[in-house]
Amino acid sequence: MVGVLLVVVVVVMVVKLMVEVVVLEEELLVEGLGELLVKVVVGEESQIGCLALELQQLEWHTLDSSY
Protein backbone atom coordinates (compact mmCIF):
# COMPACT_ATOMS: atom_id res chain seq x y z
CA MET A 1 0.00 0.00 0.00
CA VAL A 2 2.84 2.38 0.88
CA GLY A 3 4.55 1.56 -2.43
CA VAL A 4 1.42 2.49 -4.38
CA LEU A 5 1.18 5.79 -2.48
CA LEU A 6 4.83 6.59 -3.26
CA VAL A 7 4.28 5.86 -6.95
CA VAL A 8 1.25 8.18 -7.03
CA VAL A 9 3.18 10.98 -5.31
CA VAL A 10 6.12 10.69 -7.73
CA VAL A 11 3.81 10.60 -10.78
CA VAL A 12 2.04 13.75 -9.55
CA MET A 13 5.41 15.48 -9.07
CA VAL A 14 6.56 14.53 -12.59
CA VAL A 15 3.27 15.74 -14.13
CA LYS A 16 3.59 19.05 -12.25
CA LEU A 17 7.13 19.45 -13.62
CA MET A 18 5.93 18.74 -17.17
CA VAL A 19 3.09 21.27 -16.83
CA GLU A 20 5.58 23.88 -15.57
CA VAL A 21 7.81 23.22 -18.60
CA VAL A 22 4.89 23.61 -21.03
CA VAL A 23 3.73 26.86 -19.40
CA LEU A 24 7.29 28.18 -19.35
CA GLU A 25 7.77 27.10 -22.97
CA GLU A 26 4.73 29.10 -24.10
CA GLU A 27 5.87 32.20 -22.17
CA LEU A 28 9.38 32.01 -23.56
CA LEU A 29 8.23 31.43 -27.14
CA VAL A 30 6.08 34.56 -26.90
CA GLU A 31 9.16 36.49 -25.76
CA GLY A 32 11.38 34.78 -28.35
CA LEU A 33 13.90 33.37 -25.88
CA GLY A 34 14.56 30.03 -27.56
CA GLU A 35 18.02 29.46 -26.09
CA LEU A 36 16.83 29.89 -22.52
CA LEU A 37 13.95 27.52 -23.25
CA VAL A 38 16.38 24.79 -24.31
CA LYS A 39 18.40 25.23 -21.11
CA VAL A 40 15.28 25.06 -18.93
CA VAL A 41 13.86 21.97 -20.69
CA VAL A 42 17.20 20.14 -20.45
CA GLY A 43 17.38 21.01 -16.74
CA GLU A 44 13.84 19.76 -16.10
CA GLU A 45 14.46 16.54 -18.03
CA SER A 46 17.48 15.77 -15.87
CA GLN A 47 15.31 16.28 -12.77
CA ILE A 48 12.67 13.93 -14.19
CA GLY A 49 15.43 11.40 -14.93
CA CYS A 50 16.58 11.56 -11.31
CA LEU A 51 12.99 11.11 -10.10
CA ALA A 52 12.56 8.10 -12.39
CA LEU A 53 15.77 6.54 -11.04
CA GLU A 54 14.64 7.13 -7.44
CA LEU A 55 11.25 5.59 -8.24
CA GLN A 56 12.94 2.54 -9.75
CA GLN A 57 15.09 2.11 -6.63
CA LEU A 58 11.99 2.48 -4.43
CA GLU A 59 10.21 -0.19 -6.47
CA TRP A 60 13.13 -2.60 -6.07
CA HIS A 61 13.25 -1.93 -2.34
CA THR A 62 9.49 -2.46 -2.04
CA LEU A 63 9.68 -5.71 -4.04
CA ASP A 64 12.56 -6.97 -1.88
CA SER A 65 10.74 -6.22 1.36
CA SER A 66 7.49 -7.83 0.17
CA TYR A 67 9.04 -11.30 -0.05
pLDDT tens readout for residues 8-59: 888 888 878 777 766 666 665 656 555 555 555 555 566 666 667 777 777 7
Number of structural domains in the chain: 1
Contacts with 13 (C-beta within 8 Å, 6 or more apart), sequence order: 51
Domain range spanning residue 21? 2-66
**What local confidence, expressed as pLDDT, does residue 16 receive?**
80
Which residues, 6+ apart, have CB-to-CB distance to 35 below 8 Å? none
Measure the CA–CA gap between 31 and 66, rounded to whole angstroms: 51
